[in-house]
């Protein structure tokens, strides 16, 4: 491999790393959701918690928001639906973007 080709590959790797980081941060930003006047992250932990509590406990549920304040959730199913919708919106956008990384890295 000549030095020109090496530089080219290095530049492509840098571009992919920057694009991946930004796409991931974009997804993280989109995961933040306001529900019932409180802020939550629609991440795996919150979704699993709400689903588990919903199955094992009668409503209302009590969960912590991103500032560790307790929140009463009177309609867990609606809350779970909101979390899942936001999670999949963010992650599917990241998935679409990741396809372009793979293309550029070929």
Binding site for other proteins (CB under 8 A): 11, 14-15, 17-19, 21-22, 25-26, 28-30, 32-34, 37-39, 41, 66-67, 69, 93
Q: What's the first-to-final CA gap in the chain, in angstroms?
A: 16
Closest to other proteins by CB, 28 vs 57, is 28
Residue 28 near residue 87, CB atoms below 8 Å:
no
Q: Minimum distance between the CB of residue 104 and other proteins, rounded to whole angstroms?
A: 11
Beta-bridge mates of residue 71? 63
Residue 12 near residue 104, CB atoms below 8 Å:
yes
Q: Minimum distance between the CB of residue 41 and other proteins, rounded to whole angstroms?
A: 7
């Amino acid at each position: 491999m000549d030095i020109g080709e090496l530089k080219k590959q290095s530049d492509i790797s840098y571009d992919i790393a920057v694009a991946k980081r930004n796409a991931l941060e974009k997804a993280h930003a989109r995961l933040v959701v306001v529900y019932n006047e409180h802020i939550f992250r629609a991440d795996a932990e919150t979704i699993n918690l709400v689903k588990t509590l919903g199955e094992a406990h009668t409503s209302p549920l009590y969960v912590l928001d991103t500032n560790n304040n307790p929140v009463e959730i009177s309609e867990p199913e609606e809350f779970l639906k909101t979390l899942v919708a936001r999670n999949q919106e963010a992650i599917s956008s990241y998935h679409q973007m990741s396809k372009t990384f793979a293309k550029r890295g070929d």
